[in-house]
Structure 1
Amino acid sequence: MWDAELDVVIAGAGGCGLIAALAAAEKGLEVAVFEKTEFILGNTAASAGMIPAAGTRFQKEKGIFETAEEMAEDILKKNHYESDSELTLALCQESARLIEWMVDSLGIELSLVEEFSYPGQRNRRMHAPKSRSGLELIKKLRMEVSNRDNIYLTLKSELTDVIIENGKVSGVEVDTSHGKQKIKAEKVILATNGFGANKDLVNKYIPEIADALYFGYEANTGEAIKIGEKIGAALDCLTAYQGHSAVDEAHGILVTWGTIMMGGFMVNKEGQRFGDEAQGYSEFAKEILLQPDKHGYIIFDEDIYDQLLSIEDFKNIAEMNGFKSAETVVELAEKLKIDGEALINTMEEFELATERGKDAFGRKHFPKKLTGKLYGIRVVPALFHTQGGLKINTHAQVLNNNNEVIENLYAGGGAAVGVSGKNSYGYMSGNGLLAALGFGKIAGDHAAKTIQERVENK
C-alpha cells in the first residue's frame, strides 16, 4: 500500500521543518520534507531572525550569566503564567544548545544582539545573524539541507493526512504533482505554522486582531489543526497570537521596535500618545486599531536612527526614504501630516516623563532623552502569526484529548502550542522563532533517538 518508505517525514519547509530535518538527518536517518508551496520561506523568513537563548557562550563572553530558569520565569511573567511551565522551561533549556549547534554544526553565524533589550527580558539574550534578517537564516538552512544526501526536499507537495494503524501514526498522504502518494514513516513532524492566513479561523479565535493587516506567510492556513482534529489531537491556546505595532505599510517592511525601546514613542494622527509603548509590540497592536484611521507614528531621534542602521530592514526603509526627518518638532509634524501643536505638547510631556522615569500611562522605560534631529514614520498594526496549536509535551510529541501521546507524531513552531499563553500580551519577542527552531530541534532529536533505540533493541 506504500509508495515509499522513510524514517522521518516532515510537513513544512520553514524554520521549524528545516531544523527538524537537519537534526534527524545528522543521526543518519532518511528524511523527507514536503512543502505545499513552491518557495522556501515561511514566517521565519519574514522575521528579524532574533532567537532568544539563555546560557550561551556568546552571552558569557559579554559577562552575562543567565540560566534557563531565569529565562523561563521572564516568559511566564510576561504571559501571566498562562503557558505550560514544563514546556516553557524545556524550550528555554534547549535554547543555548540550539544556538551553539546552529553555529558549530550548521555553520550559521550568530551573535548576541547588544543594541537594545526587548520588553520583559532581564538580560540581552537575542542571538541573530549579522543582517538581523530571518531571510538570511532560511537561506542558510536551505543551503545546509541541500548539502545532505539523506534529506529529500519536495516543493508543491502538501501533506494532507496522517495514517493511523493500531493506534499509532504509521505514515502520511501527500498531494504531489504526480498525484496522491502514501508514504510509510516511522515518525511524522508537523511544521506547517499556524492559521494567521485563514480568515475564518482568525475571526473565530482572535477576532480582536481580525481587522489588522496580516503580515505573516500566506500559506499559514491551519493545516496542522485540521489534521490534528481529525485524529483526536488536543488543541491549546488558540486565542494567543503575536501582533506587531510597527509595519511600514508603504514599503511592506517591519520597523524594528528598537525605535521605541531605545527611547522613542508613538502618537496618533492627532499628535497624541495613547499608551505605554514599552509594554510590548504585540499587545500594543490592538491599541493602534482603536486610533483614528487605525495607524500611528513612531517618533525618535538621530542617535537612535544611526544605531539602528545595522538592521537590514531598517536600513532598507531608510534607503527608500521611508523615514521623515526634521530639525524641529513643527517641521516633522508637517512632513508626517499630523497635528503640530499637539505634537509639541506631547514632546514636552515625554521629556518630563523621561526626567521623572514614569508617565501617566505607566511607562517606566526611558533610556535616553531625545535630542537633535528628529525622525518619524507612519506605521500600521498587524497580525504576525498565531501562537496556539496542537498540544505537545516536552519532547514535542502531540497529545490527544486525554493528554496521552499520539505515538510517532510531533509538532513544532506555529503548528503547535507555543509559550505565549492565551493572549497577545503573553508574546515576548522571539517566542515564535524560538518555538519554531527549538521545538524543531527537540522533535528531530527525539524522533532520531527513539528510532535508533528501537533498532538497537531488535
Structure 2
Amino acid sequence: MATPDVTAPPDSFDLEVQTLIIGAGACGLVAALAAHEACQDVLLIEADAVPSGSTALSAGLIPAPGTRFQSDADIDDTPDLFAQDIQAKAHGENDDDLVQVMADTAGPVIDWLADTHALPFSLVTDFDYPGHSRRRMHGLPSRSGRELIDALRTRVEALDIPLICDRRATRLFAQGSWLAGAQLTLPDGGTETVGCDRLILACNGFGGNRAMVSEHMAEIDNAVWFGHDGNRGEAVQWGDALGAKTRHLGAYQGHGNVAHPHGILITWATVTEGGVQVNAQGNRFWNEAQGYSEAARAVLAQPDGIAWVIFDARIADIARQFEDFKNAESQGAVFRDETLVGLARKTGLPSDALRNAISDIPTDGRDAFGRQWGTPALSPPFCAVRVTGALFHTQGGLEVDPSTAKVRMTSGGTFDNLYAAGGAACGVSGKGDSGYLSGNGLLAAVTLGFIAGRG
C-alpha cells in the first residue's frame, strides 16, 4: 500500500455525507451508533471484508464505573476512583482531563449499549484485574472481542447505517484546518472520493507497521505481533502531514501470556488467581502481579523468549469462561497432571526446579520478587501452558481535545472537523508498556468513539 497522503480537495466528490468514519472496529461502530442517534447522515467504511480490527482479537472487556451491572453486584465504584486507578498505573503520565472524561463516560456508554442497543453485558465478578481497585470489567457472554464486534455490527445493520467494507482510505483531502473528505481504494485498485462535513479517524494504531514499531518502541520489535494487520499507522502518518499533535508514541499494550506456538491468548486470570510464570529452567523470574503488559518484555527476556504459566484446576475453571482458553484446551495447549513431577515430564521442565518454584510461594505476605500473596495455594491437578510475549496494540497517537475528540494542531487549537478515537488517538496508558491498565484499549475506543460520534 502506498503511504497515506494528504492533498487539496478535488472540485467534486463521487459521494457526500455528513459524517465519514474510517474504521469499523469497536470504536468506529460505537461512533456510528452515536452519530446516527444524533440524526447525522453517516457512512462507515472498513478496509477488511468484514469488521474486525484489534477488538476481535481481544477478550472484549470494557472497564466502566457506576454501571447498573455494578449496582446489581453491590459494587461501590465511581469515575473518580477509576480515574485514580488509571493514573496510578500510568505513573501520572496521562493528561488528567482525558483520563477524567474517559472515566466519566465509560459507565454511561455501557448502560447505553445495554439498554438502547440490547448488548447483553455482564460483569466479571470472580477475579480481579491488576491495578483495578474495583471489579468493573464488562463483557458479553463468551468474553470475546469477536462477539462484541458482531453485536455492534448487528446493531449498525439493524438501524440501516451504511457500512461499506473492502474500502481502504488512502488519501485525505484538506484545506487548512478543514478536512473535506477522503479517497478510498477499492479491491480492484480503482478509487472513489467521499466528501464530508465531519471526519472521524477510528482506524486504529500502528502495531502492524514494523518500521514505526522499531522507531518508537524498539524494545518490543522482536515480539510476536498479536494485533490486527490493518494497524498500519495511517492516522499518525496523516496527522504528521496535516500538522497534528501526537503524544506518547512509545506507549503500547504488550501481553506475556500468549500460548506458543498456538497463538492463543491465555487469560491473565491464570496468574491473578494464584498462578506463576517460570522459564525453561523451571525458575520464576519476576513479579507477575505487575501486569500482563509488562509481562511481554519479562517473558521475551527469557531464553528463546519462552516461559510457562503454571496454575491449577481451580484456576482453570475460572479461566474457562473465556472462549480463548477453551480453544487453547481443545488444541492441546494446556497440559495437566496430578503431580508436579508428571507435569514436569509433560512440559520438559526440570522437576526439582518446578517443585521449588511452587513450594516457595507463601500462603500470605510477599515473596522474594515482591509479589503480594493471599490466594489459595496451588493444588493438584496442576496445569501449564507454554507462552511467549506479544505486542497487542499501540497506545499513543493523535492528541485530541477530551471534551470533543477533535484533533489538536501543532500550531494551536483543534482542526475544525477532524476527530480521532480509539487506537488513532493517544490513550491513557502513559509513555510505555507499564502504564497499561487492563481494558484501556477498549476504554478509549468506546468513550472517544461515543464522544466523536455525538459531535
Range of TM-score over shorter length: over 0.9
Which of 406, 419, 425 does residue 397 from structure 1 map onto? 406
1:428 — aligned with what?
437
Which of 96, 106, 110 does residue 95 from structure 1 map onto? 106
CA contact (8 A) 1:234 1:403 kept: no
Which of 69, 88, 91 does residue 58 from structure 1 map onto? 69
1:155 — aligned with what?
165
2:271 — aligned with what?
260
CA contact (8 A) 2:337 2:343 kept: yes
- Quick one: which amino acid aligns to residue 291 of structure 2? G
CA contact (8 A) 1:257 1:281 kept: yes
- Aligned-residue offset at 1:253: 1.1
- Quick one: which amino acid aligns to residue 20 of structure 2? V
CA contact (8 A) 1:261 1:365 kept: no
Which of 346, 355, 362 does residue 344 from structure 1 map onto? 355
Separation of aligned partners in 2, 1:90 and 1:68: 9
Which of 166, 182, 185 does residue 175 from structure 1 map onto? 185
CA contact (8 A) 2:208 2:227 kept: yes
Name the CA shift for 1:392/1:339 in 2 (closer, same or farther; >3 Å). Answer: same
- Quick one: which amino acid aligns to residue 185 of structure 2? D
Cα shift readout 1:231-256 (whole Å, capped 9, x = no counterpart): 11111100000000111123221000
Separation of aligned partners in 1, 2:53 and 2:185: 20
2:329 — aligned with what?
318
Separation of aligned partners in 2, 1:123 and 1:276: 21
Separation of aligned partners in 2, 1:185 and 1:403: 23
CA contact (8 A) 1:160 1:227 kept: no
Separation of aligned partners in 2, 1:139 and 1:8: 22
TM-score (norm 1): 0.94
**Structure 1 residue 44 corresponds to structure 2 residue 55:** yes
Q: Which 4+ residue blocks in structure 1 deviate beyond 3 angstroms?
A: none
2:228 — aligned with what?
217
- Aligned-residue offset at 1:154: 1.3
CA contact (8 A) 2:243 2:411 kept: no
Cα shift readout 1:144-183 (whole Å, capped 9, x = no counterpart): 111122x221112122232223532222222235733232
**Structure 1 residue 375 corresponds to structure 2 residue 383:** yes
Separation of aligned partners in 2, 1:294 and 1:283: 14
- Quick one: which amino acid aligns to residue 246 of structure 1? N
1:165 — aligned with what?
175
2:446 — aligned with what?
437
Which of 268, 282, 292 does residue 303 from structure 2 map onto? 292
Separation of aligned partners in 2, 1:184 and 1:370: 60
Name the CA shift for 1:340/1:176 in 2 (closer, same or farther; >3 Å). Answer: same
**Structure 1 residue 31 corresponds to structure 2 residue 42:** yes
Separation of aligned partners in 2, 1:403 and 1:415: 19
SS in structure 2 of the partner of residue 426 of structure 1:
coil
- Aligned-residue offset at 1:343: 0.8
Cα shift readout 1:399-424 (whole Å, capped 9, x = no counterpart): 01134111101011111100001010
2:422 — aligned with what?
413
Separation of aligned partners in 1, 2:97 and 2:318: 38
Separation of aligned partners in 1, 2:416 and 2:376: 53
Q: Which runs of 5+ in 1 are unaligned?
A: 448-458
Backbone CA RMSD of aligned residues:
1.2
CA contact (8 A) 1:195 1:201 kept: yes
2:4 — aligned with what?
none
**Structure 1 residue 118 corresponds to structure 2 residue 101:** no
- Quick one: which amino acid aligns to residue 348 of structure 2? K
Separation of aligned partners in 2, 1:177 and 1:359: 56
2:86 — aligned with what?
75
SS in structure 2 of the partner of residue 368 of structure 1:
coil
Q: Report which stretch shifted further, 129-138 or 316-325.
A: 316-325
Name the CA shift for 1:120/1:365 in 2 (closer, same or farther; >3 Å). Answer: farther
Cα shift readout 1:206-264 (whole Å, capped 9, x = no counterpart): 01110010000011010101111111111110000000011112322100000000111
**Structure 1 residue 360 corresponds to structure 2 residue 368:** yes
Identity %: 43
Separation of aligned partners in 1, 2:124 and 2:308: 25
SS in structure 1 of the partner of residue 367 of structure 2:
coil
Separation of aligned partners in 1, 2:284 and 2:113: 41
Name the CA shift for 1:374/1:32 in 2 (closer, same or farther; >3 Å). Answer: same
SS in structure 2 of the partner of residue 424 of structure 1:
coil
SS in structure 2 of the partner of residue 287 of structure 1:
helix
2:260 — aligned with what?
249
Separation of aligned partners in 2, 1:93 and 1:295: 39
Cα shift readout 1:309-347 (whole Å, capped 9, x = no counterpart): 121111121222321111111111111111111111111
For this pair of structures, how many residues does the alignment match? 442
1:451 — aligned with what?
none
Name the CA shift for 1:156/1:347 in 2 (closer, same or farther; >3 Å). Answer: same
Cα shift readout 1:406-448 (whole Å, capped 9, x = no counterpart): 1101011111100001010000100001111111111101x2x
